[in-house]
Amino acid sequence: MIFNTHPVPERHSKYIEAIFHYEHFIPDHSVERVVPTGHLFLIFELDGMERNTFDNETLKPNASFTRVWVSGMHKKYISISAHRDSEMFVVQFKGHGAYPYFHFPIQEINDKVIAAEEILGSEILELHKELKETTGKADKFSLAEKWLDSRFQDSKQPSEELVKVIEALRKEPVGKHDEITQSYPNTQKHLIDQFKKYAGLTPKYYQRILRFNEIFQQMKTEQSVSWAQIAYQCGFSDQSHFIKEFKHFSGFNPEKFIQQNYNPDEPNFFPLDREG
């Protein structure tokens, strides 16, 4: 696979985590599980292949997508298709970052994958066409920057106080999260309302997603995993509570997950049918 990343321009770096393009992806599976990271994604297919989402239990297709779509804030894992020799262009928004570009409360697309033109209009299809027709990698990134510039509205920016809380939650360990949310200078109800508007989720649910991803990081870096220790460090009441939470966000039992030995370079994508 050829993977190209683009430094996010400073004017957008407060709201966008990454902009990247990949091609010639050759997976050894056709269905994969995606676990939530607390980001929102704008995804362009540049290969002409239809994508599917699947029912998490039956793995039967429940929706199809072409050209460009948005994956909103998800409260648990989703199942999507993987395709051979695929090419994609992706804008990854930070937890609080999509509202200045989308112009509507992010909670409206929680747990949804939706055709981008339904919320961004026909202009996003024009950008898709330009990205597909443009061969130069730098030119593709330049087109995306111009679109982001055109969509950004100063009046839609979150307050500095909200950004400070969200960024601190992502940077600091789970044990400090309650202290961080309590530091918000307005009421906790106001914080909840602002979180829903800009990040889609409540502060508590957003913290749960961050805690889950912190567990993932520990599992990747530690040679032997003590579930009891992880449960304690991450503030779970007991080991059974930790296992239930892990299953909720990933669909996996922690022990079985370790045994699968998934690719550490793709920490949030997990094959479900390698034989397929």
pLDDT for 87-137, tens place per residue? Answer: 999 999 999 999 999 999 999 999 999 999 999 999 999 999 999 999 999
The pLDDT assigned to 200 comes to: 98
Per-residue pLDDT tens digits for 4-29 = 999 999 999 999 999 999 999 899 89
CA 181, 184, 190, 191 dihedral sign is: negative
DSSP state of 159: P
Supply the mean pLDDT for the chain.
Answer: 93
Tokens of 250: 């990933």
SS3 39: coil
The number of angstroms, rounded, from the C-alpha of 78 to the middle of its chain's C-alpha atoms is: 11
With contact defined as beta carbons under 8 Å apart, do 95 and 166 qualify? yes
pLDDT band at residue 233 under the 50/70/90 scheme: confident
pTM to 2 decimal places: 0.94
Q: What token pair was written down for 82?
A: 């993987």
Backbone CA torsion sign across 176, 181, 182, 183: positive
Q: Decide if 61 contacts 113 (C-beta within 8 A).
A: no
- Cα distances from 65 to residues 31, 89, 117, in angstroms, run 15, 14, 11
